[in-house]
Structure 1
Amino acid sequence: MATTRERSNSMEQREKASEKSFDVDVLDVKEEVVQGLEITDENQARIIFQQAEAITDEEAEEIMQEVLDEHRHDPAYPSHVIDIAQRFLENESVRNDPVEYMRVLKEAKMECALITQDSPYAEVRAVVSPHDDPSIACSTVRAWTIGLFLAISGGLINQLFSLRMPAISVDEIVAQLISYPMGVAWAKSVTTRKFKTFGYEWTLNPGPFTRKEHMLITVMANVSFNVGYSGYIIVVQRVPHFFNQQWAKDFGYQITLSLSFQLMGYGLAGLSRRFLVYPAAAIWPRNLASIALNNSFHTDENKPANGWKVSQSRFFLYGFIGMFCYFWFPNYIAEFLSYFSWITWISPNNVSLAAITGSVTGLGLNPWPTFDWNVIVAMNQVLIAPFFATANNGLGMIITVPIVAAIWYTNTWYTGHIPINTNRPYDNMGNRYNVSKIVNSNGMFNQEAYEAYSPLYLSASNAFLYGVFFAVYPATLIYAYLHHRHEIVRGFKSLLKRRSPKAAYRDVHNRLMSVYKEVPEWWYASLLLVALGLGLIAILKYPTHTTVGAMFFGVALAGVFVVPIGIIYAVTNNQVTLNVLAEFVGGLAFPGNALAMNSTSFVLHLYVETFFKSYGYVTTARTIMFAHDLKLGHYTKIPPRVMFASQTIATLLSTTAAMAILNWQVNGIKGICTPQAEAKFTCPGTTTFFTASVIWGTLGPIKMYGPKGPYNVLLWGFLIGAALPLIFHFFTKRYRSLKNIHIPVLLGGALQWAPYNISHVWPGMIVAYIFQSYIRKRYLPWWQKYNYVLSTALDCGVAICAIVSFFALQWKGVTIDWWGNNQPYEGCDGTGCPLFPVPESGHWGPGPGEFH
């Protein structure tokens, strides 16, 4: 033990060392120091060094302590910063060595300067500017006109393709691509004459098209692209081989239901800003790609990166044109490139070979199963999400392959009579489950009809999927407490004390946004009230068989889960959905009412607070999406009140347009939501939704998961999910290599089964490693300049090509009939062969009258 005199002498030596910690030599920026900070611009590094001089020792200790408290076990936080903080605060040998202490103090203060003057995350620094000019035009007639036009168009297109397998999503990246030439053309051709209206001066053309206008347009388009789960509800209600409830075609029902979801989510997003928008740790990786594309359009400078002198805009153009031309092959000309199940082609009718290696209905174990970018990014945006997140997600699916295979080969729950990997429900005769046989004219469960027909059976992957869902919910709550409780507590303190974001957070972007008027909480609370009113109209005016208590418990469910789920999504780009949890508890309260399961989330029944699917899940999902867009506006310095107005108005218009195209889809596409549907409109998401409605609403979880239910053992998932974060947190303290294991994201990988498989995640893991690990570490300037631009270019190429090919050829029935397009859908991989045939009795398991 050191004596008092020794500690005093050591302290004096450290203080003297500290006085010299930033002499003139420090400003001599060396390459290795710049790389250590993950800064590619030496001028920027020099500025950081200068800013570090002004940081006192006490400030450095306070900031580094916050880093350890909040991010010690955070795999997303830069590991070298954690190392510096631990050496600076917790290593006694460093604190007792004046020379070493001086060196570590320099490093700590430079990292503190980054944390307070920029972002500690290299990916954020790569694209988000730590400066702002409030005079840049933003809320202009030009921006509003283009933004609302794209919001309506995007709502139409995304609703159309949401029923396709695999789905093609038109997002904010495409909106940026299309809006830029529109904005530039407007700036060149429209009059600059100024007008006065009620004393307010305005103009149709404020001058050059600005980056803030561009991002405002992007936000308006993005918040309106997905109509939400209400589209699934209405399709399931209207399509004949689902529930065939034609009253759901009433446009008043459709619009009030959809808007209630949208506006409720937006209201909660605004109230959760202190948790999901203001903290620097809320990165929202997907936003970075959007901002990178914006930079490529509006940046004049073109600094070389690892010898590459191609500008970002030209690089984007090359990538976009290349993917647009190439995607014609896997999407239309040669579909075997999309599902490259070459192993199954050796013996197409081999059941086991197709089940294990097939990409269509199998598990997808294939060294390289696809040459289709749309398949590679189907589960993860691999050039955007952090590598640890992509790796965890893929690993979660890979390590569960033996479990799914074992369930199938042992014929557990009669899964051997069903294709191994499908999300369709089956009866005991091997046919798709016909729910109309077990409900009456009101859509309510008919016990006698059920016993005369068949129990419901799930495939091996689909049955296992629900066990993983049971695990992921407690895992999410416990993981959020273990790793993010400090941010959550700080957010609540800020909310209760009415502290400003600048006072509560050190992030430079909060300081820059403090010059704009903030949106008060009561504005968002008002949106919640409007959403409740619209939801009550949809529930009470139409025959949904649902009670009014649903609305209030829907808000309660979102209040519990939105922050932990939002934080995980903001860090990893992986979202945990609440659909199964809402289904499970809602089904316990109201078994026998699939319609109520679809149309509401919570019912107060026999004094038990329960919740149903849609409001419980959709409210949270929409809250996360709107929070994502609020962060985009935060990064790009769009005034908060402009954001509020633009998101609300765009949502109203686009939701109306989406409902119109949905009605056209249901009436106009032949065989929609069946395997024979035109242009791949097989409705994978809607089918999963329908399956869940039958399981949880019509039959109820008691029949499936109760004490005598066939799938009862899967309820152990709740306990396993609660234990896993605790176990890994314990071992992470001893083995730092385990820090990169993110339990909710790992479990999330196993949630991708049925109908997706390994072929949708394994190629993405390889691509993610190349770009997000190898290139980032060795060619950081190239990665910062081109990585996000490349991601947006490829995604845009896929989306635009899909739209063109669909409307030009596929919709007109123009197809190419040859081996390359037919082979993926032939044999056991294409049709989905079961392991065992239907017994001679005509059914497996208990027959009519033998089950209750």
Structure 2
Amino acid sequence: MTCLVSSREERIEDSEENSPVEQVALTVPTGDDPSLPGLTFRMWVLGILSCFVLSCINQFFWYRTEPLIISAISAQIAVVPLGRLMAAKITSHIFLKGTSYEFTLNPGPFNVKEHVLITIFANSGAGTVYAIHLVTVVKVFYRRNISFFVSLIVVITTQVLGFGWAGIYRRYLVEPAAMWWPSNLVQVSLFRALHEKEERLKGRLTCIQFFIIVISCSFAYYIFPGYLFKILTSFSWVCWIFPKSVLAQQLGSGLYGLGLGSLGFDWSSIASYLGSPLASPWFATANVAVGFFLVMYVLTPANYWLNVYNAKTFPLFSDELFKANGSEYNISSIVDSDFSLDINAYDQEGPLHLSTFFAMSYGVGFAALSATIMHVLLFHGREIWEQARASCKEERWDIHTKLMSGYKQVPQWWFWVILVANIGAAIFVCEYYNEQLQLPWWGVLLACAVSFVFILPIGVICAVTNQFLTLNVLTEFIIGYLYPGYPVANMCFKVYGEMSMAQAVVFLQDLKLGHYMKIPPRNMFMAQILGTLIAVIVYLGTAWWLLETIPDICESSSSIWTCPSDTVFYDSTVIWGLIGPRRIFGNQGTYRAINWFFLGGFIAPIIVWLAHKKFPEKNWIRLINMPILIGATGRMPPATAVNYTTWILVGFLSGFVVYRYRPHLWKKYNYVLSGGLEAGLAFMAILLYLCLGMEEISLDWWGNDLDGCSYATCPTAKGVKVDGCPVVS
């Protein structure tokens, strides 16, 4: 086990009843104490406070050039001394004693179950609210009107809708032991380190001692990549050796090129887009590594240097939109007064062009979608079918599901009410405020249908590999063909199709955390719903305030408020919504051949499955996960090469080297290390902003030039002129 188990827990010694997943068996306790109270006064106070603070901070940092997401782990750690202080100081008097309504503000020591519920609240405020992209793009990039009320309804419905889907799929993605959700083990390890007593062996550190050392070192170190020496975020040494070579900088830049030799000595650059590499199973890390290598170092450079689609006229790696001559596309010139595409203006401006990598990223997105469906059908289809037939048979449950069966369950109809109510509200706001949202009622229903179909396959992938696949491309593709020329309708369809699916996966992951920690299901239901409602209101309020008060927000001229993720979102609305896929990827478009990626993604899992059937003794074949391998670069852009190269390296050292050759160290310290690194960075990042960022105090020297590869974005076609770039004769 990661740490010793508390004497209060009922120990179940029969190892055969433990989880069949080794990492879970090594990390998650197999006991429960049902007498521990969860819905305490301090849980309500600290849970709501954590949700509020994380929501506000994360939305605040989201618009910055270097976005930072503060995860729930920071709150998970910060509330421990506060909880213990409240347990020591608040009165333990029993109010209304002797009645059926008696209660106390202090039921005893701060316990792990209320700590888990606080963390569930914090999880609600720890991610991002995807629908706020829509609000930002409409208000800032298109400079059109969208009211706060309409924004609020869209944000709430897209976030809460996923909870209805989660309730339907919980028996397939939470109860089975095979659905183990690796990232939850980080939080489980921290709960145990913070609550369980452990004897210190001679010459060894306890979990909590190790955690304190890690968080202290991470806190102190982040002042360098976070303020004093920012080049550590992307250490692209190749550019230093060849300061005037466009080719060398295209190869070596970690932010604007292929990232050969580039490393990030900053935990935020390692874990910001792909999550913690310490929480990723090695087989999943290996699949990401192979996929990244093939796309980044084979597919992209081959298409670029063969000048496919006149690729050399544009940068190798960029999310900008271009005209045929390599200049930036003037999007505002092709939007008419009705907020739709002006066909005549578009014909005058000419077809839109993409950088090589941006075009390839859509291709691998196509392939990943078809690969996901085929992989789950071939490798998990029988398992899902058997689970559907025998989901209520206790002999199919592991020890954790058996322990949870003793608690009062959430009725299925609760989830159906949430689902129907949110779909109804979404249809109302889209129909009644159609001049702002553009999406007709049938678009909402179709988006929900797409989400419903893909939650199971994507949930299986995430639950087993810790890698999340999105529906961005599919949702954009569908509505772009059915309803072209309307960018806001495209955004609405995407947030309802993509976000309700993503939220369902997040809710399912939290349900599995409660499953591991034996939290009563009805308590989990309450914390997730209330936490989500608080989070969306705070997220939208913070975003609205920033959008109204910062004059140059999301503009390239802004010093820190450049909104990188919103810029990519805006580019997508132009490609798929305003212009439409038919004029880019269809029979009227430049990039028609990219549609063949759909077929490639469909065939790839079949090849792996046939190889597995042919050579069943070779277990490594089954570990080839084509959706993860093909979709490895799905987060690029805004993620860059350095995020991947360093993530893969750290994942290899943890998941392969240490796990194989020092398993006793891995099982005791691995997940604790991950939590400590993240929490230390988060606390220092907040401190730096409060002390220096708010006053705009910065250091201007070469060590804070993030990449040092000024030529990496230059085109290499002959005669193309771009400011700051050499002209190839």
TM-score by length of 2: 0.93
2:479 to 577, 580, 586: 586
Classify 1:271/1:49 alpha carbon distance in 2 versus 1 (closer, same or farther; 3 Å). closer
2:726 counterpart residue number: none
Between the aligned partners of 1:529 and 1:49, the Cα distance in structure 2 is 41
The Cα of 1:796 is off from its aligned counterpart by: 0.8
Between the aligned partners of 2:692 and 2:428, the Cα distance in structure 1 is 42
1:824 counterpart residue number: 707
Classify 1:669/1:432 alpha carbon distance in 2 versus 1 (closer, same or farther; 3 Å). farther
1:140 aligns with 2:140: no
Between the aligned partners of 2:361 and 2:475, the Cα distance in structure 1 is 15
The Cα of 1:165 is off from its aligned counterpart by: 4.5
The Cα of 1:738 is off from its aligned counterpart by: 2.3
1:179 counterpart residue number: 79
Residues 47-106 of structure 1: CA distance to partner in whole angstroms, max 9, x if unpaired?
Answer: 99984xxxxxxxxxxxxxxxxxxxxxxxxxxxxxxxxxxxxxxxxxxxxxxxxxxxxxxx
Which deviates more from structure 2 when the two are superposed, residues 667-676 or residues 725-734?
667-676
1:753 aligns with 2:644: no
Between the aligned partners of 1:222 and 1:751, the Cα distance in structure 2 is 23
Residues 427-475 of structure 1: CA distance to partner in whole angstroms, max 9, x if unpaired?
Answer: 3343433321111122111101111223211111000011111111111
1:810 to 680, 693, 697: 693
Between the aligned partners of 2:81 and 2:11, the Cα distance in structure 1 is 37
1:677 counterpart residue number: 558
Classify 1:825/1:160 alpha carbon distance in 2 versus 1 (closer, same or farther; 3 Å). farther
1:420 aligns with 2:316: yes
2:28 counterpart residue number: 128
Aligned-partner SS, 2:386: helix
1:442-521 equivalences under 5 Å are: 442-494=338-390, 500=392, 503=394, 505-521=396-412
Aligned-partner SS, 2:354: coil
Aligned-partner SS, 2:183: helix
Residues 613-663 of structure 1: CA distance to partner in whole angstroms, max 9, x if unpaired?
Answer: 221111111110111111111111111111111111111112111111101
2:18 counterpart residue number: 118
1:604 counterpart residue number: none
Between the aligned partners of 1:647 and 1:840, the Cα distance in structure 2 is 54
1:243 aligns with 2:142: yes
Classify 1:49/1:445 alpha carbon distance in 2 versus 1 (closer, same or farther; 3 Å). closer
Q: Is the 8 A contact 1:258 1:655 kept in 2?
A: yes
1:539 counterpart residue number: 430
CA RMSD of the aligned region, Å?
2.4
Q: Is the 8 A contact 1:284 1:573 kept in 2?
A: yes
The Cα of 1:723 is off from its aligned counterpart by: 0.4
2:292 to 387, 391, 397: 397
1:275 counterpart residue number: 172
Between the aligned partners of 1:576 and 1:702, the Cα distance in structure 2 is 24
2:330 to 431, 434, 437: 434
1:725 counterpart residue number: 605
Between the aligned partners of 1:123 and 1:48, the Cα distance in structure 2 is 19
Between the aligned partners of 2:522 and 2:589, the Cα distance in structure 1 is 52
Between the aligned partners of 2:472 and 2:481, the Cα distance in structure 1 is 14
1:324 aligns with 2:219: yes
Between the aligned partners of 1:838 and 1:274, the Cα distance in structure 2 is 61
Residues 747-772 of structure 1: CA distance to partner in whole angstroms, max 9, x if unpaired?
Answer: 12132433434322222222222222
AA in 2 matched with 1:153: V
1:93 counterpart residue number: none
1:782 aligns with 2:657: no
Of structures 1 and 2, the larger Rg is shown by 1
Which deviates more from structure 2 when the two are superposed, residues 557-566 or residues 807-816?
807-816
The Cα of 1:308 is off from its aligned counterpart by: 5.0
Residues 337-395 of structure 1: CA distance to partner in whole angstroms, max 9, x if unpaired?
Answer: 111111111222311111111112111111x5221121122324210010111121122
1:650 aligns with 2:549: no
Classify 1:504/1:704 alpha carbon distance in 2 versus 1 (closer, same or farther; 3 Å). farther
1:381 counterpart residue number: 276
Classify 1:668/1:419 alpha carbon distance in 2 versus 1 (closer, same or farther; 3 Å). farther
1:345 counterpart residue number: 240
Q: Is the 8 A contact 1:417 1:838 kept in 2?
A: no
1:32 counterpart residue number: none
Q: Is the 8 A contact 2:71 2:126 kept in 1?
A: yes
Q: Is the 8 A contact 1:159 1:226 kept in 2?
A: no
Between the aligned partners of 1:708 and 1:647, the Cα distance in structure 2 is 46
The Cα of 1:739 is off from its aligned counterpart by: 2.6
Classify 1:629/1:343 alpha carbon distance in 2 versus 1 (closer, same or farther; 3 Å). same
Q: Is the 8 A contact 2:225 2:233 kept in 1?
A: yes
Residues 562-582 of structure 1: CA distance to partner in whole angstroms, max 9, x if unpaired?
Answer: 001001001111011011011
Q: Is the 8 A contact 1:260 1:532 kept in 2?
A: yes
Classify 1:841/1:488 alpha carbon distance in 2 versus 1 (closer, same or farther; 3 Å). closer
The Cα of 1:554 is off from its aligned counterpart by: 2.3
Between the aligned partners of 1:663 and 1:781, the Cα distance in structure 2 is 49
Classify 1:824/1:631 alpha carbon distance in 2 versus 1 (closer, same or farther; 3 Å). same
Classify 1:837/1:590 alpha carbon distance in 2 versus 1 (closer, same or farther; 3 Å). farther
1:568-607 equivalences under 5 Å are: 568-599=461-492, 601=493
The Cα of 1:740 is off from its aligned counterpart by: 2.4
AA in 2 matched with 1:520: P
Between the aligned partners of 2:2 and 2:484, the Cα distance in structure 1 is 58
TM-score by length of 1: 0.80
Aligned-partner SS, 1:749: coil
1:369 aligns with 2:266: no
1:514-529 equivalences under 5 Å are: 514-529=405-420
Between the aligned partners of 1:514 and 1:158, the Cα distance in structure 2 is 36
Between the aligned partners of 1:800 and 1:635, the Cα distance in structure 2 is 28
Q: Is the 8 A contact 2:469 2:634 kept in 1?
A: no
Between the aligned partners of 1:712 and 1:811, the Cα distance in structure 2 is 47
Between the aligned partners of 2:209 and 2:603, the Cα distance in structure 1 is 50
Aligned-partner SS, 1:616: helix
Percent identity over paired residues: 33
Between the aligned partners of 2:28 and 2:200, the Cα distance in structure 1 is 16
AA in 1 matched with 2:36: I
Q: Is the 8 A contact 1:259 1:534 kept in 2?
A: no
Residues 706-729 of structure 1: CA distance to partner in whole angstroms, max 9, x if unpaired?
Answer: 124211101011110010000011
1:773 counterpart residue number: 656
The Cα of 1:669 is off from its aligned counterpart by: 3.7
AA in 2 matched with 1:157: I
Classify 1:137/1:50 alpha carbon distance in 2 versus 1 (closer, same or farther; 3 Å). closer
Between the aligned partners of 2:722 and 2:486, the Cα distance in structure 1 is 32
Which deviates more from structure 2 when the two are superposed, residues 503-512 or residues 476-485?
503-512
The Cα of 1:773 is off from its aligned counterpart by: 1.9
Q: Is the 8 A contact 2:565 2:638 kept in 1?
A: no
Aligned-partner SS, 2:353: coil
AA in 1 matched with 2:501: T
Q: Is the 8 A contact 2:113 2:517 kept in 1?
A: yes
Q: Is the 8 A contact 2:161 2:500 kept in 1?
A: yes
The Cα of 1:841 is off from its aligned counterpart by: 14
Between the aligned partners of 1:838 and 1:373, the Cα distance in structure 2 is 41
Aligned-partner SS, 1:754: coil
Q: Is the 8 A contact 1:320 1:794 kept in 2?
A: yes
Classify 1:674/1:841 alpha carbon distance in 2 versus 1 (closer, same or farther; 3 Å). closer
Classify 1:445/1:504 alpha carbon distance in 2 versus 1 (closer, same or farther; 3 Å). farther
Residues 158-207 of structure 1: CA distance to partner in whole angstroms, max 9, x if unpaired?
Answer: 11222344432112211201111111111111111111297311111111
Between the aligned partners of 1:758 and 1:654, the Cα distance in structure 2 is 32
The Cα of 1:487 is off from its aligned counterpart by: 2.7
Aligned-partner SS, 1:420: coil
Point out where structure 1 has 5 or more consecutive residues left out of the alignment.
Answer: 1-37, 52-112, 602-612, 843-852
Classify 1:839/1:784 alpha carbon distance in 2 versus 1 (closer, same or farther; 3 Å). closer
Between the aligned partners of 1:708 and 1:782, the Cα distance in structure 2 is 58
Between the aligned partners of 1:413 and 1:555, the Cα distance in structure 2 is 36
AA in 2 matched with 1:628: Q
- Relative CO higher for 1 or 2, CA cutoff 8 Å, sep ≥ 6? 2
Residues 234-277 of structure 1: CA distance to partner in whole angstroms, max 9, x if unpaired?
Answer: 111111xx2111x22x2211111011011110111111101111
